[in-house]
Chain A
Amino acid sequence: SYDLTQSPSVSVSPGHTASITCSGDKLGDRYVFWYQQKPGQSPVLVIYQDSMRPSGIPERFSGSNSANTATLTISGTQPMDEADYYCQTWDSNINTAIFGGGTKLTVL
């Protein structure tokens, strides 16, 4: 089965840029979606189709996907961005969503 790998944790200082990566075999050939989840809340879509932002998501969130790695970048990170972030892709062989293990972003 297809696997997505994320680093368990990333730390960033307020105002700086955070990069959260998601890796998988030939991931660049697939679309990647990113979700933000704060404690006790449901996930929220922040990036779709590698680099598109849904309405209402701040411009500081951006995404890219190439080769074996997708990256979620948060520019000018704010304390409110502290959350768990999950990448997701689609495995068309089994018609199922695949989620990465999640990355805990700490802003300090």
Chain B
Amino acid sequence: QVQLQESGPGLVKPSETLSLTCSVSGDSISRSYWSWIRQPPGKGLEYIGHIYYSGSTNYNPSLQSRVTISVDTSKNQFSLKLSSVTAADTAVYYCARPAVGSGWLLFDFWGHGTLVTVSS
């Protein structure tokens, strides 16, 4: 059974860069796609983007200018960086392992999520 665990600072200052890592167990990161999804407190889900184990990425256009997702196959981890954060980036951040269909992804395994607050 695949398990995902997010880690990283819970508090980030405005204008700084948010950095999170997702550690994967029970599956090899060198298998498929891996995603980040976030949820502001009391609000809905927002897709951030995904990475293929080879390193190719795709980002939500609304965040594309500030987002970088990378993969470390040696550690079986993938990471998220979001630059120039504001209070609007305060959210629970989830990493997820998608199931891959013909031209689509769905999310059948999720991490527990980690709350990141942007505040000075």
Contact = CB atoms under 8 A, between A and B. Distances in A.
Interface of A: 1, 30-31, 33, 35, 42-45, 48-49, 54, 86, 88-90, 92, 94-102
A96 B49 contact: yes
Interface of B: 35, 37, 44-47, 49, 58-61, 94, 99, 101, 103-108, 110-113
Nearest to A48: B106
Contacts, number: 60
A45 B107 CA distance: 7
B104 A43 contact: no
Secondary structure of the B contact surface, majority rule: strand
A43 B107 contact: yes
A45 B45 contact: no
Contacts of A35: 45, 107
B58 A102 contact: no
**Interface-centre pick from A43, A54, A86, A102 (highest chain B CB count, 10 A):** A43
Contacts of A100: 44
A74 B101 CA distance: 25
Given A42-B110, A45-B106, A54-B108, A86 B47 contact: no
Contacts of A30: 104
